[in-house]
Structure 1
Amino acid sequence: MKKLNLIILIVLLLGATAIMGYSFQPEKLEVAANTSTPKLLPDFNMYDINGKVSSIHQLAGDKPTLFIYFNSTCHLCQDELGEISKRIDEFKEYNLIFTTVQPKPEVIGFVNDLEIKDRSNVHFLLDADMNVASYLQIKSLPSIFCYNKKQELVAEYVGVTKIDLLLGNLASAK
């Protein structure tokens, strides 16, 4: 009986440790201030999902801008963009630029499902030549960059990031 109790206790402790380890994941990974990521919003001309060439700087204008590099097959990207689309009205004062290296046919269904592409402050760009990916040194997805109205980098995140944190950075970047 003592052996059975000991085995049950060990299993419970291991289970509790596993649950605590899983639930204690950082909600964001903010890149340190001394990162080698360029401090200014890149200015490349790229095709949007409608086939129109657009300048990143012109799309950002003089508003704080959230720039997200994503892949439609990435589960973390799907979660992040899904959460943004649910709260899209809270982003109306900011520009959102979503960029992917994927060809248009691979991403168009995902973009349509988000139901945000027709908003004037939301832009989906195709980085076919990987110019932006190289410039920003994209290593993981989603990669999220917050820029102020002067198009200067305010914060950078990798992975799923709390929407309230993104909104807070954008609000302080006015």
Structure 2
Amino acid sequence: MNKKVISKLIIGVVVLVAGILIVGLAHKLKERDILERNQQAINLNGVEYLGTTLPEKGDIILVLFHPSCDFCQTDAQFVKEQIDQFKNIDLIWVSYDNKDSIAQFSKTYELDNLENVHFAYMDIEVMLERYGNVKFPTFLAYDKNGALLQKFVGVTKPEELLSVYDQE
């Protein structure tokens, strides 16, 4: 009788652990987040962005932000001050706020005319579906193959963002 109880207990533990691993794996796969080419974001000129016009040259940092977010503003200042450190990385700032606010944000922090900094609008439903309920700012660092290297949430200094890339 003791052996039956122990074997059922072991089976129960194995099933529980397997369930936890499966749920964890599903979450990891979502978190891995290979950058898709059809995210339905639109740049400020009305052209599909993060779609067929996604920069193909290399590493990308996707920044999910809101123009009125104080932390996002702080990060924009950090990026502007050290933009030369990002010369081989495209920074794509994406928000669900209205396009005028996004454009004003890009001008206020003098990021609007930089070759490797882009701004895009994404419908809030698409953003929620794609990324879940994110905190702003969220930085998603992707390699040149579109694989997520690391996710940063909150104020993040440029050296932290750049630490995931081999800067040569």
The residue correspondences of 1:120-159 to structure 2 (distance < 5 A) are 120-159=115-154
Q: Tell me by how many angstroms 1:38 deviates.
A: 4.1
Match of 2:48 among 45, 53, 70: 53
Counterpart of 2:36 (choices 42, 62, 75) is 42
Instruction: Indicate the RMSD between aligned Cα atoms, in angstroms.
Output: 2.4
Q: TM-score, normalised by structure 1?
A: 0.72
CA distance in 2: counterparts of 1:164 and 1:58, whole angstroms: 28
Identity %: 23
Contact 1:38–1:136 (CA under 8 A) maintained in structure 2: no
Structure 2 residue aligned with 1:116, among 90, 100, 111? 111
SS in 1 for 2:149: strand
Question: Could you list the runs of 5+ residues in structure 1 that have no partner in the other structure?
Answer: 1-31
Residue equivalent to 2:70: 75
Asked if 1:87 is matched to 2:82, the reply is yes
Question: In the comparison of the two structures, how many residue pairs are matched?
Answer: 142
Decide whether the 8 Å contact of 1:69 with 1:144 is kept in 2: yes
- Which residue matches 2:166? 171
What displacement does 1:171 show? 2.7
1:47-89 alpha-carbon deviations (Å, 9 max, x no partner): 2122222234642314111110000101011111111111111
Are 1:64 and 2:56 an aligned pair? no
- Superposed CA deviations along residues 71-116 of structure 1, whole A, max 9, x for unmatched, are 0101011111111111111111111111000011222211111212
2:118 counterpart SS class: strand
In structure 2, relative to structure 1, the CA distance for the partners of 1:55 and 1:145 (3 Å cut) is closer
- Given that 1:42 and 1:57 are in contact with CA atoms closer than 8 Å, whether structure 2 keeps it comes out as no
Q: Is the 8 A contact 2:137 2:154 kept in 1?
A: yes
The structure, 1 or 2, with the larger RCO (C-alpha pairs under 8 Å, 6+ apart) is 1
